[in-house]
Every structure is written in structure tokens, then in C-alpha cells.
């Protein structure tokens, strides 16, 4: 049916590739492109021989012309961008130049002042409309599925949504005293940044990790959750009409926070270079080098993730609460695709977004977040592709 | 009266130099020698103009011939070694070659396998006897004053000493979340090493920091104290006849230990080099580089140290207990000599040892630890030189 260019060859890209190959009726051909072509080749070697034809290419995605050249050569229907968030715009430019649809999982961030903000990508809306192509932003789990869950709640369960609490819990245990998932810079930035939530039309800042609750999560149990800012809050605050309050909560264990606080105290999380043996060294980069490689966590991680939305509002004139969530098991993910749940929950929705675009089910010219499309086909695809969701109509609320 | 060559120009050396200048009737001339002659010159500039004549010299103390040359040129009565413990033997060799007395504050350690053990230096006993010169080992506070305290108790208060608990408490607060005194490598090694104590003729190993008590220290209050091995245990177990049990205890705050544990967990205290940006980097060395310079702690440290010996035994056929200790105030030390109490309590006894040797009061050919001399003149000198001691005949015992 179609062809996808997958930019990136890390943990999430690997899940996307596996899932595309599981849906070879839609993804007849894929091309995996990244700076390190050996990583792409390794993925190809692992999955070759199925019905999806796999190509690989060396690509510096910072360079729009290189992306254009690969698109012209491979002629994909859609580009799935699971590389670094610094490259969203160069890849979107290449899609515009070639008339190819675009999907990503995280908002663009300027490399020098990284920030969770959609303004740079939303600014492409008219250009994508004029080019007649679709850019689907933030089609991971959070952002991504959390937006689809909200759109689904809006469509089927509420006349008005008033509050949303997104709860992202990872009860995985990798057995190391300390390690970070994904890129440790991003983890560290997440918890050292101010929290922020939306209430009555305003954004309210909170001190880092100052808002804490204990929440008893299905299949995981009671966990410390902390209020953070997360990028889907921005799009949901705009796209869910009548919304009064949106917050995002993430679990961190006391042990994890103690480690991170100590590392911050001694200066190991700093990005200011220091002079060491005649060389400028950024402490955070050195910390990354001594911590376990995030890629090594997969085979060792046990336990589950639970990510979902607790939604309150009005249906048929009466107050209603609704909790929709997915539970994902690290070990099962690893068995299936060789990555644990963190990569799995991001990669599967990226594949689904691209699949809905190739099938023509989610297709409207412009730049959109996931909650702006009909959630039903996406929700159906989640159930079919390893991320089944569950509902609870009497959840405990977060005060 | 005499001349001393001081090897080293760090915090302890600075105290020694200050204290020699305060005793210019004994120390008519001193020479400060270290690898970095600028440090020696800075000390000279600070103290020049008093009655003690100060010289400086550039010296690599790893090289015995260089030490011999300086001794031949300066002709000191005694060498005070307050450099690194890796250089004890080369300096002792130079003393033997030139017939000059020797004083240090810490046992020799082989650079490749650092270890608290006197065997290498004790092996010089006959050579020093034959040369007719004295080597006084471990004349700091602990080792050093703790041995003198024990010899004083032996001489004046006990017929038999049965148990000694040495308690080293530092209640100083430098205001940083985390920093180490002296060389952080040594601090870290101290707490990550197994504990060890002497009982009934045997050495008993304990897991690192596994033996913990809370002890209420005079002028400091209740502190967590942990059993460690410390080098004076070796000499006291040999030199105090009839001793049944000796233990060494040091205070560590929970916050300090948490920081150190996290740094150990993530691998920052490792001395195994890792490959980083094309360079071999030892994590512990990098940690040292990002932590506050120990030399910068002096002006900021408030609070006191309390180091002493709780001794039990028999006097006149009856059980007796005796606690002898010194309390030292970080800020007062800094005001007096520009170093805080950690350096002060080590440097003053080094000066006293050298003074007693120059005066001919402590002088017998061979290699000795402090407890092998008459303690009285040393005890008197402590009171006169800023380290007054106090006694308590009904201390709380450590179980």
C-alpha cells in the first residue's frame, strides 16, 4: 500500500521498524535513515526476509538538502521522524519541498535553548495546507496517545471536559542503582525544570518537584507522582474547548530523585564546560558517559508502565469522571521487539499515525496534533498493535 | 637553635610553617620545598619579616637525589615531611644519606596499591639506628596526638590499658552541599574500605560503615560515629602492652554519606579510566576537579572538631575509665594561621615532634611512633601551641 521513510535508528526507531514490518500490508517498503548507517543496517539485518522491503541510508537530518535527496530517491508517502527534536524543522522543510506527509513524536527544540513549545512547528500550518500535505505532531504516547485518549473521551463520554490529569508512571526496575531512560539530559532537564499547569486560561508555574501526590495506579500500586510541564499540555489547552485545568504528573522514586539531587549538588548535571587536564569537558556529558547506556536497560528491565488520563467534566448535564489508561509490560515488549516499554509506547503510536496517513484515514492538509483527528481508528489500532487500553468510570481523583 | 626542612606546601605545610615561625627560638631557619615553588614563595611572602629566616626551594620529593641535594645545601637538623604519603621512603632515604632526623604525619603508601601499613617504614629501623638518627612516624593528630594521649594515660592513669576507642569528630560546616577535606580520594577510600579493629590479638574486619553508634561529644553534641580502620591502630596494638581491644571511630553525617554513596553508585569514585571524547579519564579525578577545592573550605568552615581517646583499664587493681580529647574551632584556626582545624590539628603536632627532636628531648636512633616517647613534653607543648586537651574521668563508654 505505501512507503515510509523512518529517520532515526535508536530505541524508538527500532520499535517503529518492527511495528511497520508487522503491518506489511500498509508498509510495503520502508527506508531507515540515520547518521550512523551501521545502526540502520543492523535493524535491517534483524528484520529482513519478511514482507516489508527494507532499505537503509546514511543521513545527517540537520541538512534539509540531504533529507530532500533521500526522499526524492526513495519516494515515501510519509516521513516518520524519530530522530532528535532538534531536527524537526529541517525534516518538515524537506517534506514541504517534496510534498510528503510528516509524523513526529516530540516538538521541535532549538538546539541552543531547548524548550517544550509548538510555536515553531505550528508556524508551518499554512505552508503545509498550501502544499496539500499533513504534518502530524507528537504521535508518541505522551504526547500522542494521551491526546487521542482525550479526544476519545470528548467524542464518547463528555459534553464538556473540565479537567485532565495525565499520569505517566514507570514502575520498571532495571536493577542498576541509577540510570536514566532515553537521553539522560532530557530526564535531568525534566525534573530540574519548573512545573507548569494550565488553569482557567492561565499557566501557573511551580517550583521543580514541589507538587507531589501519591497515586494508586492499576497494576502498579501506589507511587509518588510529581507535577511537571509536558508538551501535550500546550496543544490540549488550545484544542479541548472549554477546558479549565490540565496537569501532567510523572512518577519518580525517592531513590531516583536522591541520586539526581546529589549529582546536581556536586555539579555533575551542569552543561557549563570545565577545564580538565587541558580539555574543556561538560560535566553532564561526562555523566552520560559513565552511566549505563540507556540502550542496555532493555534486556534487564522488569515491571510495567501505566500512562493515562483522568478526566472530569459534564455529560448529559451531570458531573462525570473517566480514567483511560494503558498498562505496558517491559519484559513483554522486550520479548516482542527487543526494546522495553518506554521505547515501545512511543514507537507504536508513531507507526499508527503514519499508518492512518498512508491509509488516508487521517489526512488533512496542514499541521495538526493528534487530538485534532477522529480518535476511533487510532484507538482501534492501539488495541491491535500491542497497546490495549482500559477504562475506569470511578477513579480516585487527584486533589 | 635549629633548622628544619619542610617538604610540602599544602594546607598542613602552611600550618607547620606558621607554627615554626611562632617558635622562632627553636626554628631559627626553615626551608619550604615542594614541586610548585610558587606555593612555597607565597608562604614565605606571607610570613617573612619575623625572627625565623625562611628559604624556599623547588623539589620533586619522588627523587631521593633531589632531596639529598637540598638537605646538603640547607643543612637542616630535621626534615618535616608533610607532602604525599607516597614520598615517605624517598625522603627517609635522603635523611639516611645525610644523617638528618625525619618526621612525618602519615605512613608510606605504595602509589599503585595505597594501604595503611607501617611495615615499609618500620623496616628502616636498623638503618636509622646505625646512622644515629631518629625517624618519628605519624606525628599528626590521628595518628599522632592520639598515640601521645594513650602514652600519657599509660604513664599517669593506668597500670594496664585494656581498651582504647579513638573518636574523631568533625562538626565543621563549610556550607557546600558536598565537599571533601584534604584529598577527596583519601576521604572516599576511607569510607568505602572495610572497617577493621583489634581484639584479643586478632584483627577483625567489618563491612564498610557497618558499625555505627551515636556518641554525645563534648562541645559538639550527639553525632553518628562509624568504625573505620586507621593507621595508629597498628602501632598502638604493638606498643601498648597488654592491650585487648582498639577501635577507631569517625563521624560522618547522613548527608555526606548519601552524597558519597550516590557518587559511588554511578561510578564517579572509580579509579578505572573510561574512554571519553578520545581521552582516558579517571572518574575520581574528574570528580575532584568539579568538587570545591579543599583549600577553599578554610575561610567558609564554621564549627569545631573533637578528637580524643576513651580508655579503659586497671589502676591500683581497680577498673578505671579515662577520656582525653582536644576541641578545635575551625574559625579560630583560620583566623590564626589561614587554615581550618583539619589542617591545624595535623600541622601543630608535626611542628611539636620536630621541636622536641631539635631540642634533643625526643631523640633516640631508630624509627619510632609517637607513643614510644615520653608523652609529657609533647602534652605540655600541645597546651602551649593551640591544641589544649581536656580530661574526663566518667565518660560514656562505647558499647
Please determine, for residue B110, whether its predicted confidence score (pLDDT) is greater than 90: no
Interface contact A265, partner B, CB < 8 A: yes
If one counts every other C-beta atom within 10 angstroms of the C-beta of residue B345, the result is: 26
pLDDT in single tens digits along all 399 residues of chain A: 999 999 999 989 999 999 999 999 999 999 999 999 999 999 999 999 999 999 999 999 999 999 999 999 999 999 999 998 899 999 999 999 999 999 999 999 888 777 889 999 999 999 999 999 999 999 999 999 999 999 999 999 999 999 999 999 999 999 998 987 656 667 777 778 899 999 999 999 999 999 999 999 999 999 999 999 999 999 999 999 999 999 999 999 999 989 988 998 999 988 899 999 999 999 989 998 999 887 788 899 999 999 999 999 999 999 999 999 999 999 999 999 999 899 999 999 999 999 999 999 998 999 999 999 999 999 999 999 999 999 999 999 999
Average pLDDT over residues B141-145: 97
d(CA A72, CA A211): 49
| Stretch among A260-264, B75-79, B169-173 having the lowest mean pLDDT | A260-264
Interface contact A253, partner B, CB < 8 A: no
Q: Least CB-CB distance to B258: which of A177, A258, A267?
A: A258
Say which residues have a Cβ less than 8 Å from residue A56's Cβ, sequence separation at least 6: A31, A32, A33, A37, A40, A41, A43, A44
Nearest in space to B9 (alpha carbons), one of B145, B18, B1: B18
Residues of chain A with C-beta less than 8 angstroms from the C-beta of B270: 290
Chain A nearest-CA distance from B205, in A, is: 26
Which pLDDT belongs to residue B193? Answer: 86
d(CA B268, CA B291): 12
Instruction: Give A49's DSSP letter.
Output: T
Chain B nearest-CA distance from A174, in A, is: 14
Interhelix angle B145-156/B341-358, rounded to 10 degrees, is: 60
pLDDT per position as a tens digit, B262-320: 998 999 988 899 999 999 999 989 998 999 887 788 899 999 999 999 999 999 999 99
If one counts every other C-beta atom within 10 angstroms of the C-beta of residue B111, the result is: 10
Mapped onto helix, strand or coil, the DSSP state of residue A364 is coil
Here the ipTM equals 0.70
Interface contact A274, partner B, CB < 8 A: yes
Interface contact A254, partner B, CB < 8 A: no
> Distance from first CA to last CA of chain B, Å, rounded?
48
Residues of chain A with C-beta less than 8 angstroms from the C-beta of B283: 286, 290
CA geometry: angle at A119 spanning A162 and A204, to 5°? 45
Interface contact B222, partner A, CB < 8 A: no
Contact (CB, 8 A) for B268 and A268: yes
Tallying the residues shown for chain B, one arrives at 399
CA geometry: angle at B304 spanning B299 and B305, to 5°? 110
Which pLDDT belongs to residue A182? Answer: 58
Which pLDDT belongs to residue A46? Answer: 95
A155-181 burial code (b ≥16 CB/10 A, e <16): eebbeebbbbbbbbbbbbebeeebbbb
d(CA B44, CA B53): 9
Q: Which run of H or of E encompasses B236? A: helix B232-239
Nearest in space to B80 (alpha carbons), one of B18, B124, B38, B123: B18
Average pLDDT over residues B87-110: 96
Average pLDDT over residues B358-363: 96
In chain B, pLDDT over 70 holds for what percent of residues? 99
Q: Least CB-CB distance to B265: which of A259, A267, A277?
A: A259
The neighbouring-strand residues paired with B5 are B31, B79
B347-379 burial code (b ≥16 CB/10 A, e <16): bbbbbbbbbbbbbeebeebbbbbbbbbebebbb
Nearest in space to B299 (alpha carbons), one of B344, B336, B331, B271: B331
Average pLDDT over residues B355-381: 97
If one counts every other C-beta atom within 10 angstroms of the C-beta of residue B75, the result is: 13
Average pLDDT over residues B71-92: 96
A317: left (phi over 0), alpha (psi -120 to 50) or beta: left
If one counts every other C-beta atom within 10 angstroms of the C-beta of residue B336, the result is: 15
Interface contact B281, partner A, CB < 8 A: yes
Average per-residue pLDDT for chain B: 95
Pick the CATH number of B145-330 from 3.30.1960.10, 3.30.360.10, 1.10.40.30, 3.40.920.10: 3.30.360.10
- Do B262 and A267 count as a contact with CB atoms less than 8 A apart? no
Interface contact A259, partner B, CB < 8 A: yes
pLDDT band at B35 (very low <50, low <70, confident <90, very high): very high
Chain B nearest-CA distance from A201, in A, is: 39
Instruction: Give A140's DSSP letter.
Output: B
Interface contact B263, partner A, CB < 8 A: yes
- Do A259 and B259 count as a contact with CB atoms less than 8 A apart? no
d(CA B119, CA B234): 10
Q: Least CB-CB distance to A262: which of B259, B274, B277?
A: B259
The whole-model pTM stands at 0.74
Residues of chain B with C-beta less than 8 angstroms from the C-beta of A270: 290
Average pLDDT over residues B369-397: 97
Residues of chain B with C-beta less than 8 angstroms from the C-beta of A282: none
| R_g over Cα of chain A | 20
For A:176-195, CB contacts with B below 8 A are 177-178
pLDDT band at B184 (very low <50, low <70, confident <90, very high): low
What number of CA atoms fall less than 13 Å from residue A254's CA on the CB side? 3
Which pLDDT belongs to residue A261? Answer: 87
Q: Omega of the bond prior to A39 within 30 degrees of 0, cis?
A: no
Interface contact B276, partner A, CB < 8 A: yes
Residues of chain B with C-beta less than 8 angstroms from the C-beta of A279: 277, 279
Among A176, A269, A276, A291, most B C-beta atoms within 10 A, so best to mutate, is A276
Residues of chain A with C-beta less than 8 angstroms from the C-beta of B285: 276-277
Among B285, B290, B293, B296, most A C-beta atoms within 10 A, so best to mutate, is B290
Among A265, A266, A272, most B C-beta atoms within 10 A, so best to mutate, is A266
Q: For the residues of B291-345, what is the DSSP string, one character each?
A: SPPGGGTGGG-BSEEEEEEEEEEEETTEEEEEEEEEEEEHHHHHHHHSS-HHHHH
> Distance from first CA to last CA of chain A, Å, rounded?
48
- CA A195 to chain CA mean position, Å: 19
Q: Where in chain A are the domains?
A: 145-330
Chain A nearest-CA distance from B87, in A, is: 23
Q: Least CB-CB distance to B178: which of A265, A277, A290?
A: A265
Residues of chain A with C-beta less than 8 angstroms from the C-beta of B279: 277, 279
d(CA A146, CA A14): 22
Which pLDDT belongs to residue B183? Answer: 65
Q: Which run of H or of E encompasses B29? A: strand B27-34
Interface contact B287, partner A, CB < 8 A: yes
pLDDT band at B182 (very low <50, low <70, confident <90, very high): low
d(CA B40, CA B56): 6
Residues of chain B with C-beta less than 8 angstroms from the C-beta of A267: 290-291
If one counts every other C-beta atom within 10 angstroms of the C-beta of residue B251, the result is: 20
Q: For the residues of A260-326, what is the DSSP string, one character each?
A: HHHHHHTTTT--S-EEETTEEE-HHHHHHHHSPPGGGTGGG-BSEEEEEEEEEEEETTEEEEEEEEE
Amino acid at each position: 500500500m505505501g512507503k515510509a521513510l523512518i529517520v532515526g535508528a535508536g530505541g524508538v526507531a527500532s520499535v517503529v521498524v518492527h511495528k511497520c514490518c508487522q503491518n506489511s500490508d500498509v508498509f510495503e517498503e520502508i527506508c531507515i535513515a540515520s547518521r550512523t548507517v551501521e545502526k540502520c543496517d543492523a535493524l535491517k539485518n534483524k528484520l529482513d526476509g519478511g514482507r516489508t522491503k527494507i532499505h537503509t541510508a546514511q543521513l545527517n537530518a540537520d541538512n534539509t538538502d540531504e533529507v530532500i535527496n533521500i526522499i526524492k530517491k526513495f519516494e515515501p508517502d510519509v516521513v516518520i521522524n524519530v530522530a532528535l527534536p532538534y531536527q524537526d524543522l529541517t525534516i518538515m522543510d524537506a517534506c514541504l519541498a517534496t510534498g510528503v506527509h510528516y509524523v513526529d513524536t516530540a516538538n521541535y527544540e532549538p538546539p541552543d535553548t531547548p524548550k517544550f513549545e509548538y510555536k515553531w512547528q505550528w508556524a508551518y500550518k499554512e505552508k503545509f495546507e498550501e502544499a496539500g500535505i499533513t504534518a502530524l505532531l507528537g504521535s508518541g504516547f505522551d504526547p500522542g496517545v494521551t491526546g487521542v485518549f482525550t479526544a476519545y473521551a470528548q467524542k464518547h463520554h463528555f459534553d464538556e471536559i473540565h479537567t485532565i490529569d495525565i499520569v505517566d508512571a514507570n514502575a520498571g526496575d532495571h536493577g542498576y542503582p541509577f540510570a536514566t531512560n532515553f537521553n539522560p539530559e532530557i530526564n535531568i532537564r525534566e525534573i530540574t525544570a519548573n512545573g507548569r499547569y494550565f488553569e482557567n486560561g492561565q499557566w501557573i508555574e511551580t517550583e521543580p518537584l514541589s507538587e507531589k501526590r501519591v497515586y494508586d495506579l492499576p497494576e502498579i500500586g501506589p507511587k509518588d507522582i510529581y507535577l511537571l510541564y509536558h508538551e501535550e499540555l500546550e496543544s490540549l489547552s488550545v484544542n479541548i474547548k472549554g477546558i479549565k485545568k490540565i496537569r501532567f504528573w510523572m512518577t519518580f522514586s525517592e531513590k531516583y530523585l536522591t541520586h539526581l539531587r546529589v549529582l546536581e549538588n556536586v555539579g555533575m548535571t551542569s552543561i557549563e564546560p570545565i577545564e580538565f587536564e587541558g580539555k574543556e569537558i561538560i560535566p553532564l556529558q561526562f555523566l552520560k558517559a559513565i552511566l549505563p547506556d540507556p540502550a542496555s536497560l532493555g534486556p534487564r528491565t522488569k515491571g510495567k508502565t501505566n500512562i493515562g488520563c483522568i478526566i472530569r467534566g459534564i455529560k448529559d448535564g451531570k458531573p462525570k469522571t473517566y480514567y483511560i489508561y494503558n498498562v505496558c509490560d517491559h519484559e513483554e515488549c522486550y520479548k516482542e521487539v527487543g526494546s522495553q516499554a518506554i521505547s515501545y509506547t512511543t514507537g507504536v503510536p508513531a507507526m499508527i499515525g503514519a499508518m492512518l496517513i498512508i491509509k488516508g484515514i487521517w489526512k488533512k492538509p496542514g499541521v495538526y496534533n493528534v487530538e485534532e483527528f477522529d480518535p476511533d481508528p487510532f484507538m482501534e489500532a492501539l488495541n491491535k498493535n500491542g497497546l490495549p487500553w482500559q477504562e475506569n468510570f470511578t477513579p480516585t481523583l487527584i486533589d
